[in-house]
Amino acid sequence: MHASGVFIPAVLYFDMFAILPKIFIDNTRSIVFYLLLAFTSWLVVLEIIRFRYKWWSRAYMKFLGSILKKEEKNSIPASLPYFFSLTLLTALLPRDIAAISMIFLIIGDPAAAFVGTRYGTLRLFGKKSLEGTIAGITSSTLLAILFLFLLPPVSTDPFRETALPPSLTISIFIVSLAGIASLMAELISCAICLDDNFLIPLTGATVLLLLTLFLTPATPSDIFSPIKNLLLPLPR
């Protein structure tokens, strides 16, 4: 279920809503943002009702209890910070950096958990294992690099909808370091009491942004577009 969200960065990175009538400056980013915001808001309402009304809590657990972790049955489920992170990334970052950061969470985190649970022997922090961390870094970074090969990003459009440099070699280097950093951050998420659904993508996004600014001529104004470009439709 965690990894099924990979279609979200795919829609963002490959600009799949560009075929629709142009409503916003960046159709894809704005539409994805509003869809994620609506879904995240709906999850918040569900959780508020669950903890407020016992009848809803019983119905909730009857239908969804089997897919919740043990610790989530009496607390906020991971789906809420998961979708909040995706919404935040879409709101604040250019399409390409947002999409790559999402991949670190959507693919890297479950790959680390899957391999670590079944094959992990070298424990690093708590239940985190070296094998799981390597699997998370490798799988998410390779998928992010595959995105780069399928459609190398551009940084020349007038509204700065993308930010990674047009040089494929530099982009691969930046993405690889960000992938390593994001899954290394996942290792310490328990130690600093921060949900890895926040820590993984935000760490990856921070490294992507800093390396892009350091290794390319880009400036912050080149990367960040005004929030109105995201929220407001084009004037008629």
pLDDT at 69: 67
Report which residue type is found at 100. Answer: I
Q: What pLDDT shows up at residue 91? A: 92
Distance CA 133, CA 119 (A): 11
Give pLDDT, residue 94: 87
- What secondary structure does DSSP assign to 2-70, as a single string? -GGGGHHHHHHHTTGGGGS---STTHHHHHHHHHHHHHHHHHHHHHHHHHH-HHHHHHHHHHHGGGS-G
Residues 6+ apart with CB under 8 A from 138: 111
Give the SS3 label for residue 233: coil
Q: CA–CA separation, 95 vs 89, rounded Å?
A: 9
DSSP lists the bridge partners of residue 129 as 123
Distance of CA 117 to the CA centre of its chain: 23
- For residue 153, the 8-state DSSP code is -
Tokens of 196: 């890895």
Question: Is the Cβ–Cβ distance between 36 and 90 less than 8 Å?
Answer: yes
What pLDDT score does 76 carry? 75
Which pLDDT does position 39 carry in this prediction? Answer: 94
Q: Please, what's the b/e burial string for 41-76 (b: 16 or more CB within 10 A of its CB; e: otherwise)?
A: eebeebbeebeeeeeebeebeeeeeeebeeeeeeee
Q: What pLDDT, on the 0 to 100 scale, is given for residue 134? A: 87
Q: Consecutive sets of 10 residues in the chain, 236 residues long: mean pLDDT of each?
A: 86 90 90 96 87 75 66 72 93 90 91 83 72 88 90 51 75 91 78 76 92 83 80 82
Q: Write the single-letter amino acid at 195.
A: D
Q: What is the pLDDT of residue 121?
A: 75
